[in-house]
């Protein structure tokens, strides 16, 4: 019976090992998520500052042009130029954010796919090992039973 218990201990370690590895995977995923959020926050901060500075420069240029414009047609021209720049700046800002977040999403998807693939490969390997060990144990039990049955006959 001691041999059966010592043989069953490695299979009991299998679930504990799987839980441990799953816990490690979750820890790694949460660390990756923390890094991603940090990168997104830094990008948003830098882009916000860049955009605010750009708009301040454009507003300053519009104010300078307003001081030297002639009549109502000049005023309307400066206003239209400011409005055109305003819309272009917002559109380009949205495109920059969309491109950055698309790139981040692709990186996250690639990383998640790699981690999932690694976990699946590891679990398949461990399941195969457990089946192999179970088969060996069943063969040993069958051999022991066969020896036990054969003993009284001899």
pLDDT bracket for residue 152 (50, 70, 90) = low
More confident residue, 40 or 4: 40
pLDDT at 45 (0 to 100): 93
Buried b (16+ CB within 10 A) or exposed e, 22-35: eeeeeeeeeeeeee
Taking the C-alpha atoms of residue 110 and residue 116, their distance in angstroms, rounded to an integer, is 10
pLDDT at 114 (0 to 100): 78
More confident residue, 37 or 83: 83
130: burial class by Cβ within 10 Å (0-12, 13-18, 19+)?
Answer: middle
More confident residue, 121 or 50: 50
pLDDT at 2 (0 to 100): 43
Average pLDDT score over residue span 99-109:
80
Taking the C-alpha atoms of residue 18 and residue 6, their distance in angstroms, rounded to an integer, is 20
Backbone angles phi, psi at 43, to 5 degrees: -60, -45
């Amino acid at each position: 019976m001691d041999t059966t218990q010592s043989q069953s201990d490695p299979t009991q370690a299998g679930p504990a090992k799987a839980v441990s590895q799953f816990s490690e995977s979750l820890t790694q995923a949460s660390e990756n998520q923390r890094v991603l959020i940090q990168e997104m926050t830094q990008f948003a901060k830098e882009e916000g500052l860049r955009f605010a500075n750009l708009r301040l420069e454009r507003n300053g240029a519009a104010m300078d042009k307003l001081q030297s414009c002639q009549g109502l047609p000049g005023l309307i021209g400066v206003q239209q130029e400011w409005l055109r720049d305003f819309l272009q700046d917002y559109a380009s800002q949205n495109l920059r954010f969309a491109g950055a977040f698309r790139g981040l999403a692709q990186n996250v998807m690639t990383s998640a796919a790699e981690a999932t693939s690694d976990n699946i490969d590891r679990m398949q390997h461990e399941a195969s090992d457990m089946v192999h060990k179970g088969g060996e144990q069943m063969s040993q039990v069958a051999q022991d039973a066969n020896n036990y049955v054969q003993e009284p006959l001899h």
